[in-house]
Chains A and B, each alone.
Chain A
Amino acid sequence: MAQAARHRVTVPDGGASSHGPGLPCPDAGGAAASARRAVEAVWRIESARIVGALARYTGDFALGEDVASEALAEALVAWPRDGVPRDPTAWLLATGRRRAIDAFRRRAGRDERYAALARDLGEGGAHAGAAPAGPGEPDLLWDPDRIDDDRLALVFVACHPVLSKEARVALTLRVVAGLTSEQVARAFLVPVPTIQARITRAKKTLAAARVPFAVPPADERAERLASVLNVLYLIFTEGSTASGGDEWMRPDLAHEAIRLARVLVRLTPGEPEPNGLLALLELTAARFPARTGPDGEPVLLADQDRRRWDASAIRRGRAALARAVAAGRGLGPYGLQAAIAEQHAVAPSVEATDWERVVLLYEALGRVAPSPVVELNRAVAVSMAFGPASALEVVDGLAAADALRGSYLLPSVRGELLARLGRRDEARAELELAARLCGNRRERGVLERKAASL
């Protein structure tokens, strides 16, 4: 039936990309490139475990990350040459441990403490309190009861509030998501050395602040979890609305954030907000297929073909939201935004959306996380539920408070409301102002067209 019909339809092969499944590699370097991708794939699956285990083992996050990176660099040389080892993870871990011992021995000349650490590590890691293992046996790094703790500690350390937001994002993508510096650089359209410097600086900052490699204590936990959620959200928004450049979306980055949110949900059972965030990301990503037109131009919510929304992503998002609600502690800012996204996801059209409910949800959101952007969104919902005049009062209140100065968001909404009220000259001026302030070429085009059509 539906599946069988597909065999008769020509399937686009994803263009000339060598990532296209089943496509032969046409270039001479194909085998090397393919081996490199195999290393990167293993790294994506295992980096969090490997960095986490080595950080715990050495008692030093920066050193753990350094030696894990060295192991990755060695794999990139050795695997294309010798083939992928039978147990790639054990190989990476054993190599990382050897590099850690080397590092301790180098420091041993200056400090006897490190000589003892090198001995312990060589004998199987008495440092971490583990029982000694035979030489070359990496298994002790694999305490199955510690894997989740290591991974969770890694997430918390990478998102530590002592770091700048850029550093948290780069470190999380590098060590938790297992992207290479090259991949992170490409995702953020910055040179590779910029990302490398960012990560080096982040490690120094963590060391200087003496941040322990551990899950934070109960009294810090809420604040630290909020920082983790914020980092994943930033990664997602960078992917869903590129802040600079020509492309409107970079779905790979958004997908990365969803995957990290799924991991976080598994690592923090009983916490409602990771589920709230996952729900928000799934429900937002569900709209991606309908968010761009044939030429890559953005299509606004009101004009989207809702049949193109990803039904399975909506199902997963609603399930995550239901779990957040079921935790029984009320919804946090991400859960509330997810509840708003759910209202859109289940509505057959803009007109048939339960806007009054959306207004209520924005009011609740404004109470737990007051911000001018939330207020502006509430104004949009008010305009749909009660008409543009009531909404304009809300927006004018924001303008009077000088909120969102320099952002294109306020004039774009204000222009829209004025247009609906028939105040065309004022509307055009506001939309033109919004276009001038907008940094994204695609979005700017939408605003300019709207202004010109008045």
Chain B
Amino acid sequence: MPKYMLIMRSTDETTAAFAESGLDFDQLLEVMGRFNQEMIDAGVLMAAEGLEDASQGVVVDYSEQPPVVTDGPYGETKELFNGFWILDVPTIEEATAWARRAPLAGPGSKAEIRRIPSIDEFPQDNEWIRKERAWREATGQL
């Protein structure tokens, strides 16, 4: 079954604009909740997670070896990754049609849509794929 990930992306500007918008947390939960419910009702939502603010995260930069670890937002790069939805839909067009409806707004706010290859598409005789399959089977992972 084809699966697509809708990846929420934004920039520092998006975050600043959101902070100024005065939208409170309850309203945010409601608009997101309504969007999620629509996808649940349509039988397409498989998983979703939202991430804590990027300022609370850590970035490991592999440009140099050993990698450089910094606290907080991404530093030089302005792109932030905020969360994702995983949809069970047959085509990227349908995933895109859902993404168009996501309650995201503001300068630099984006959703990127990528197909998630099924483990069946990987070489089945590879020992690491076998191990991953066993782990998926044991945990009921998507």
Q: Which of A's residues lie within 8 Å of B, judged by CB?
A: 2, 5-6, 9, 11-12, 19, 21-22, 34, 37-38, 40-42, 44-45, 84, 88, 148, 251-252, 255, 258-263, 266-267, 285, 289, 307-315
CB neighbours (8 Å) of A315 from chain B are 140
Verify B134–A307 contact, CB threshold 8 A.
yes
What are 28 pairs between A and B in contact, CB < 8 Å?
A: A2-B131, A2-B135, A5-B128, A6-B117, A11-B117, A11-B122, A12-B117, A19-B91, A19-B93, A21-B114, A41-B91, A148-B41, A251-B1, A255-B90, A259-B42, A260-B43, A263-B42, A263-B43, A267-B41, A285-B1, A289-B120, A307-B130, A307-B134, A311-B136, A311-B139, A312-B46, A312-B140, A314-B140
User: Is the pair B94, A45 in contact by a Cβ cutoff of 8 Å?
Assistant: yes
B96 at the A interface (CB under 8 A): yes
The reply to whether the CB of B137 lies closer than 8 angstroms to some CB of chain A is yes
Give B contacts to A, CB under 8 Å.
1, 4, 40-44, 46, 88, 90-94, 96-98, 100, 113-115, 117, 120-124, 126, 128-142
Task: For B44, list chain A residues within 8 Å (CB).
Answer: 259
Q: Give the 9 A-B residue pairs with the shortest CB-CB distance, closest first.
A: A262-B43, A315-B140, A41-B93, A41-B97, A41-B94, A21-B115, A37-B93, A2-B132, A259-B43
B90 in contact with A252 (CB, 8 Å): yes
For the complex formed, measure the closest distance between the CB of B49 and the CB atoms of chain A, giving whole angstroms.
14
**B123 contact from A9, A41, A310, Cβ within 8 A:** A9
| Chain B CB within 10 A, most for which of A2, A12, A263 | A2
Q: Known A11-B117, A260-B43, A307-B134; judge A37-B140 contact (CB<8 A).
A: no
Q: Which of A2, A11, A12, A45 contacts B97 (CB 8 A)?
A: A45
Quick one: closest B residue to A252, CB to CB? B90
List the B residue with the shortest CB-CB distance to A264: B43
B119 to chain A, nearest CB (A): 9
**CB-nearest residue of chain A to B98:** A45
Chain A: minimal CB distance from B11 (Å): 23
A40 touches B93 (CB 8 A): yes
Contacts of B93 in A (CB 8 A): 19, 34, 37-38, 40-41
Contact B132 A5 (CB under 8 A): yes
A residues near B120, Cβ cutoff 8 Å? 289, 308
Q: Given the complex, which residues of A lie within 8 Å of B114, measured CB to CB?
A: 21-22
Residues of B within 8 A of A148 (CB): 41
Whether B97 and A38, one on each chain, are in contact in the complex, defined by CB atoms closer than 8 angstroms, is yes
Q: Is the CB of B141 within 8 A of A311?
A: yes
Contacts of A255 in B (CB 8 A): 1, 90
Which residues of chain B are near A5, meaning CB under 8 Å?
Answer: 128, 132
Q: When chains A and B are docked, how far (Å) is the Cα of A291 from the Cα of B1?
A: 14
Main SS of chain A's interface residues? helix
Interface contacts beyond A5-B132, A37-B91, A262-B43: sample of 18 additional A-B pairs, CB < 8 Å, sorted by A: A2-B132, A6-B117, A11-B122, A19-B92, A21-B113, A22-B115, A38-B96, A45-B94, A88-B97, A148-B41, A259-B43, A262-B42, A267-B41, A307-B134, A308-B124, A309-B137, A311-B141, A312-B140
Alpha-carbon gap, A44 to B44, bound state (A): 12
How many whole Å from A80's CB to the nearest CB in chain B?
Answer: 13
Chain B residue contacts of A9, Cβ below 8 A: 122-123, 126, 129
Q: Which residues of B contact A289 (CB under 8 A)?
A: 120
How many Å lie between the Cα of A309 and that of B140 in the bound state? 11
Determine which of B42, B117, B132 lies in contact with A45 in the assembled complex, contact meaning CB atoms within 8 Å.
B42
Contact check, B97 vs A311: say whether CB atoms are below 8 A apart: no
Distance in angstroms between the alpha carbons of A260 and B88 in the assembled complex: 13
In whole angstroms, what is the CA distance A314 to B46 when docked? 14
A12 contact set on B, CB distance < 8 A: 117, 121
A6 to B90, CA, bound (A): 22
Contacts of B122 in A (CB 8 A): 6, 9, 11
Residues of chain A with a CB closer than 8 A to B128's CB: 5
Is A263 within 8 A of B141, CB to CB?
A: no
Whole-angstrom distance between the alpha carbons of A34 and B94 in the complex? 12
Cα A42 to Cα B89 with chains together (Å): 12
Smallest CB separation, A253 vs chain B (Å): 11
CA A252 – CA B91 in complex, angstroms?
11
Which residues does chain B contribute within 8 Å of A314, judged by CB atoms?
Answer: 140
Instruction: Using known A-B contacts A2-B135, A255-B1, determine if residue A41 contacts B140 with beta carbons closer than 8 Å.
Output: no
Neighbouring A residues of B131 by C-beta, 8 Å: 2
Evaluate contact between B121 and A258: CB separation under 8 angstroms.
no
Decide if A266 touches B98 in the complex (CB within 8 Å): no
Is the beta-carbon distance between A312 and B141 smaller than 8 angstroms? yes
Within 8 Å CB of B135, what residues of A?
Answer: 2
CB distance from B99 to the nearest CB of A (A): 10
Known: A6-B117, A259-B43. A312 touches B123 (CB 8 A): no
Does A311 lie within 8 Å of B96, measured CB to CB?
A: no
Whether B41 pairs with A266 at a CB distance below 8 angstroms is yes
Structural contact, B92 and A21, CB atoms closer than 8 A: yes
Name the residue on B nearest A290 (C-beta). B120
In the bound complex, residues from chain B placing their C-beta under 8 Å from that of A42 are: 97
Question: Judging by beta carbons under 8 Å apart, are A307 and B121 in contact?
Answer: no
A6–B133 Cα gap in the complex (Å)?
A: 12
| A251 cross-chain contacts in B, Cβ below 8 A | 1
